[in-house]
Amino acid sequence: MKLGVEKWGNYSWVIVALTIATLLALSPPAFAAKKNANCRNSGQFSSWLRDFKSEARKNGISKSTINAALGGMKLDPGIIRKDRRQGFFSQSFLSFAKRVIMPYRMKRGKQLIRKHAGIFGRIQKEYGVPAPVIVAFWALESDFGASMGKDKSLRSLATLAYDCRRPELFRPELMAALKIIERGDLRVQDMVGSWAGELGQTQFLPTHYFNHAVDYNGDGRKNLLKSVPDVLASTANYLVHIGWRPNEPWLEEVRVPGRMNWAEADLAIKHPRATWAKWGVRYRNGKALPNDAKEASLHLPMGRKGPAFLAYPNFSVYTEWNNSLTYATSAAYFATRLAGAPLVYPGRGPVDNFDHKKIRELQRLLVRRGYDVGGVDGTLGIKSRAAVKALQLKNGLPADSYPDNRLLQRLRGR
């Protein structure tokens, strides 16, 4: 990659690279739990590594693979510092989506759908996953393979598997990485990716790589770094594994009336479209919703004054892929845009801005009052939104699960 030289449209590779670099620095694995952030390591890394090598041999990994992958392995303190950062996806949906769904990516994504139409046709027939869904992840995770990360994955995984914060999560990932090498899919020198050990053009954790990668070009290897057919089919295969329903929608933009029972707008609450229609919800273009029993949730990523969507069961696949609600909504919306949907309507606004610092204050105040926010991390995730909703209901405020300055002032005043 030659920064500042090659361009797509009006967006230089500098901007693209910076965007991806930021995402890779912020994006933890989908299972990332914010616990033990202040723990301290005890014991020597060398002793831990010796024990892990012994375990790997018991799991059928050859001595040659273990020596090639883990010989001379050193702890990387920089990876531990990255893992303990707390500022994940604090931006609002509109801000984040604008930043990552740039015109360049829209144009390039549509070009790739046309270029690989044959492969996408086979994939949709076999897996039931549409091309726009796969391509949106392809864009957001690695800029279509241009930025897969530059960290040595084995060192990252060994460091995180040793670290006291989440060893039970990363130890299996390191073992799976060795299995990928043992199976012959990748060589040790190929194991380069994000700081958290994710690999390939759609950033698979090693366990996902080992269990769900597909050899779609028939060359005998499952290569998610270089083989586009393998990348696309493996992504579809994993999406099916985590719940994708063929021939069903995932997200549709809607308009909501100014007055309604906002407490019903919750990803945990589902109603038939006929019910939403009865309550005045309509498609973005004003067309009436079908009077049918297909269930969906009303998703208001920025509360009652912001954009509105019907989220179908397939939307849960996005939150399984990455538990950041901002990321999940942006990825799902991006896929609808690639499928032909217009730019999102910003809502009736204005929406009070809650940045990382303000969200942390909100979370601290909620925790002080006994609410579970899933960790004071500056991210307005599902648990924090549920706590906001509970407080709104308690105070007789519109319970749209999104904070505003009035709610924060009430918390400060108590």
Per-residue pLDDT tens over the stretch 46-92:
999 999 999 999 999 999 999 999 999 999 999 999 987 745 467 89
User: Are 370 and 320 in a shared domain?
Assistant: no
Residue 414 banded pLDDT, cuts 50, 70, 90: low
Write down the pLDDT at residue 22. 40
User: Are 259 and 320 in a shared domain?
Assistant: yes
User: Are 272 and 315 in a shared domain?
Assistant: yes
Write down the pLDDT at residue 89. 61
Closest CA to 373 of 411, 318, 329: 411
The dihedral formed by the CA atoms of 306, 307, 312 and 318, expressed in degrees to the nearest 10:
-90
User: Are 262 and 313 in a shared domain?
Assistant: yes
Residue with tokens 């069903």: 248
Report yes or no on 292 lying in a domain. yes
Please compute the mean of the pLDDT values over residues 198-213 and round it to a whole number.
98
Spatial contact of 276 and 303, defined as CB atoms under 8 Å apart? no
Q: CA 260 from chain center: how many Å? A: 31
d(CA 304, CA 174): 43
Report yes or no on 382 lying in a domain. yes
Report yes or no on 244 lying in a domain. no
Task: List the domain range (segments joined by +) for residue 314.
Answer: 251-338
Of 338, 364, 385, at which residue does a domain stop? 338
For 99-155, give the DSSP string: HHS-HHHHHHHHHHHHHTHHHHHHHHHHH---HHHHHHHHHHHHTTTT----EEHHH
User: Are 332 and 377 in a shared domain?
Assistant: no
Q: How many domains does the chain divide into?
A: 2
Report yes or no on 82 lying in a domain. no
Residue 244 banded pLDDT, cuts 50, 70, 90: very high
Report yes or no on 212 lying in a domain. no
Report yes or no on 210 lying in a domain. no
User: Are 327 and 403 in a shared domain?
Assistant: no
User: Are 363 and 304 in a shared domain?
Assistant: no
Residue 24 has pLDDT above 50, yes or no: no
Report yes or no on 404 lying in a domain. yes
Position with higher pLDDT, 14 vs 54:
54
Q: In Å, what is the CA distance from 320 to each residue of 35, 57, 316? A: 19, 32, 6
Spatial contact of 230 and 223, defined as CB atoms under 8 Å apart? yes
User: Are 285 and 360 in a shared domain?
Assistant: no
Report yes or no on 148 lying in a domain. no
